[in-house]
Structure 1
Amino acid sequence: MLLKSIRVGSNDLAKTRAFYDATFGALGMSPCTTPGQYPIVMWDLGGVRFLAGPARDGEACTPANGGTIVFDAASEDEVRAWHAAGLSSGGTCEGAPEAKPQARGAFGAYLRDPDGNKLGAYHGLSMG
């Protein structure tokens, strides 16, 4: 099976675009090219699309309870840059960059985006 996309809720697309352009930029990804008049924003993360937009039911977006999206970083410095970019772009800290005991010592950090979605970035995280 191949994952095609992940979507998070956004109550403010301008803030969301700025946050993810900054954090994805720190991981070496290109900025969002979705035209401003579109009702969502989207990034191509090497074949998997990451989307953000309002809830289809018209209600306010809320973060997933227990949900975390983790991104791969090429180095510990990239994890630090990702975390710093998130903090300076409206995110909040959920775990400073450091070796994480819950990940067998892999180097990682956690943020919440401006809408409260929990994100992580890791270098050296093994899935085995």
Structure 2
Amino acid sequence: MLDHTGIVVTDLALARRFYDAIAGALGLATISNGPESFLFGKSAAEPIPYLWIGTLRPSYWVEGSRAGINQMHVAFRAGSEAMVQAFHAAGLAAGGRDHGPPGPRDGVPGYYGAFLLDPDGNNIEACYRSNF
């Protein structure tokens, strides 16, 4: 369903540390694509869908936009509850902030998720759906 999306960050090295950590926990990868950005996805061999993460100002931004002003939410699919827990632990260790610990979510049967805020305040989630 998703081809790509992107977020602008203020400190690329700090963001890379965070996203490298959660990529490893989810069995995903970060892929360098230039000095001012990187991609977060399955692998270099299977690059789509991806999350673009960089310090460049996108041409489509409206005047007044800046990193962190419009919090974004991205949910990554995990293969198990253990992967959700690993995502949360890895993200916290790499500078993320807790925004909802691993656990089931009310109102969504078979849903297990965890939420982190990345270094710029974007809401990053990992979720496992036992009924899919």
Q: Same fold (TM over 0.5)?
A: yes
Interval containing the TM-score (normalised by the shorter chain) = 0.7 to 0.9
The reply on whether 1:44 has 2:41 as its aligned counterpart is yes
2-structure distance, mates of 1:63, 1:103: 29
Match for residue 117 of structure 1? 122
**Do 1:17 and 1:32's aligned partners in 2 also have CA atoms closer than 8 Å?**
no
**Do 1:33 and 1:43's aligned partners in 2 also have CA atoms closer than 8 Å?**
no
- Equivalent residue letter for 1:52: I
Report matched runs for 1:32-111 at 5 Å: 32-35=31-34, 38-45=35-42, 46=46, 47-56=48-57, 60-65=66-71, 67-111=72-116
Deviation at 1:101, TM superposition (A): 0.7
The reply on whether 1:15 has 2:21 as its aligned counterpart is no
The TM-score normalised by the length of structure 1 is 0.83
User: How many equivalent pairs are there?
Assistant: 123
Moved over 2 A (4+): 30-35, 43-46, 57-60, 102-105
SS in 2 for 1:104: coil
* Unaligned stretches of 5+ residues in structure 2: 59-63
- Give the root-mean-square deviation of aligned CA atoms: 2.3
* Unaligned stretches of 5+ residues in structure 1: none
